[in-house]
Amino acid sequence: MNLNRTPIAVSEAVRRVISGLSKLPVETIPYTESYGRILARDLEASMDVPRFNKSAMDGFAIRAKDSEGASGENRVSFEVVAEVPAGATSRYELSEGEAFRIMTGASIPESADAVVMFEQTRQDERSFSIRKPFTSGENIARQGEECRSGDVIVPAGTLINPGTVAALATFGYKEIEVRKQPVVGILATGSELVDIDVPLEAGKIRNSNGPMVRSQLQRMNIEARMYALEADDFDTLLQRVKQMLNEVDAVITTGGVSVGDYDHLPKLYESLGAKELFNKVGMRPGSVTTVSMLGSKPMFGLSGNPSACYTGFELFARPALLKMMGHDRIFAPVLDAVLDGDFKKANPFTRFIRAEIDYREGLIYASPAGFNKSNAVTSIAKSNGIIVLPGGTRGYEKGDAIKVMMTDMTSGIDHFDI
């Protein structure tokens, strides 16, 4: 057992994790299942949008030149010759003083070039009059004004959002090439752990890391493969991890990475012939997080302490998996914020504190989410971000300028701010 581990900086640890990873292969899926996946090819417009000149308003399509000279004193009248609802068009050639009754979204007939809104007219049975001249193109959405056939709408490497799905539907892409999702195996280790439905005997606790990590993966749209809890037995763990390496693209274990008599994971990676990227990081919690690579497969040895496990996942596993998924924005945003509570304890390591983030008058406030030791579990439940405090000799006070890592961009605020 190597007791003298040398901590490396968090930024260096992140760099090491992501630098050795390559993108997973491409697969074709129905566009209806593409939300949350990563585009593997540029999404190009297959046609102009709008595809044809269309009415932007409900009203009448006219020849603009026929409206010349119209004013309050000199109203110009038109006769309605045909109707053009959305989904239709007309080949009729307008003569002077003739108009189509036309609805929003309908194709503008060739012979018309402006649309008068109903509200801009005085109407009779089959005719109407206007009090102002119209210019060619008025109230018309022109063909190609939004984009042209061949334009790149969304580049490869982008997360598919609802708007991307709308674009796929618009351009008729029933199938789409995306990067494969990694198959991620989760193995919680520890002889003290039991599953949720097993009675707690002396010295036992429930496994919370396994379900938590699975949810962290779900938050990234990744379905995890759960392996049964394992006790701290080297040979069994070795067999299990070998099996996982045959079945998954990335292995996540929790527990057993420190220097205890039954902390087998570092030695286990070594006996697999894996390349250890680091086994100690200058951070709290999660200092003993150990990451190794076997070929192209990362193995994340997350700490058993729940807060350390959570933090290790967000800092290392998340960007690594996003890189494998072909995402080109793999990091959670780190934003300037105001500390909304004291955090007096100094520490030489970079501190990551589970935090409640709030937004008031355009500012981001972050307060520690409760009991904040490495072994805390309940503070994770209250957090929607992580406060980042650089290591050093001083503590921090309410009102200090700090940074927060946004781990949960979907959590909202309790007031409407417009």
Ligand X SMILES: Nc1nc2c(c(=O)[nH]1)N[C@H]1C(S)=C(S)[C@@H](COP(=O)(O)OP(=O)(O)OC[C@H]3O[C@@H](n4cnc5c(N)ncnc54)[C@H](O)[C@@H]3O)O[C@H]1N2
Q: Which residues contact 282 (CB under 8 A, 6 or more apart)?
A: 7, 8, 9, 10, 348, 349, 350, 391
Q: How far apart are CA 254 and CA 69, in angstroms?
A: 80
Instruction: Tell me: does residue 255 bind ligand X (CB under 6 A).
Output: yes
Omega into 85 within 30° of 0, i.e. cis?
Answer: no
Instruction: Tell me: does residue 285 bind ligand MOO (CB under 6 A).
Output: yes
Collapse the DSSP code of 278 into the 3-class scheme (helix H, G, I; strand E, B; otherwise coil) and give the result: strand
Among 66, 113, 263, 356, which residue interacts with Mg ion (rule: CB under 5 A)?
263
Q: How far apart are CA 357 and CA 416, in angstroms?
A: 16
Among 288, 293, 302, 386, which residue interacts with ligand MOO (rule: CB under 6 A)?
288
Omega into 25 within 30° of 0, i.e. cis?
Answer: no
Q: Which is nearer to ligand MOO, 14 or 288 (CB)?
A: 288
| Contacting range for ligand X; rule: CB under 6 A; set: 134-142, 200-208, 310-318, 380-388 | 200-208
Residues in binding contact with ligand X, number by CB under 6 A: 27
Instruction: Tell me: does residue 260 bind Mg ion (CB under 5 A).
Output: yes
Strand ranges inside 303-379, DSSP E = 334-339, 350-360, 363-368
Q: Binds 205, which of Mg ion, ligand MOO, ligand X, none (CB < 5 to 8 A, cut-off by type)?
A: ligand X
Q: Which residues contact 106 (CB under 8 A, 6 or more apart)?
A: 54, 55, 84, 85, 86, 87, 88, 89
Helices (H), 251-326: 265-272, 306-312, 318-324
Q: Binds 368, which of ligand X, Mg ion, ligand MOO, none (CB < 5 to 8 A, cut-off by type)?
A: none
| Contacting range for ligand MOO; rule: CB under 6 A; set: 110-118, 132-140, 283-291, 334-342 | 283-291
Task: Tell me which DSSP letter residue 315 carries.
Answer: I
Q: How far is the CB of 310 from ligand MOO (least distance, A)?
A: 10
Q: How far apart are CA 321 and CA 338, in angstroms?
A: 30
Q: List the one residue out of 4, 92, 89, 9 whose CA is nearest residue 52.
A: 89
Whether 250 contacts 223, CB under 8 Å? no
Q: How far is the CB of 307 from ligand MOO (least distance, A)?
A: 7
Q: Which is nearer to ligand MOO, 143 or 374 (CB)?
A: 374
Q: Binds 209, which of ligand X, Mg ion, ligand MOO, none (CB < 5 to 8 A, cut-off by type)?
A: ligand X
Exposure string for 227-237, b = 16+ CB within 10 A, e = fewer: bebbebeeeeb
Q: How far is the CB of 284 from ligand MOO (least distance, A)?
A: 5
Q: How far is the CB of 316 from ligand X (least distance, A)?
A: 14
| Contacting range for ligand X; rule: CB under 6 A; set: 131-139, 150-158, 170-178, 206-214 | 206-214
Instruction: Tell me: does residue 308 bind ligand MOO (CB under 6 A).
Output: yes
Beta-ladder partners of 152: 44
The contact set with Mg ion (CB under 5 A) reads 258, 260, 263
The contact set with ligand MOO (CB under 6 A) reads 284-288, 303, 305, 308, 374
The contact set with ligand X (CB under 6 A) reads 188, 190, 192-193, 205, 207-210, 254-260, 263, 285, 287-288, 303-306, 308, 374-375
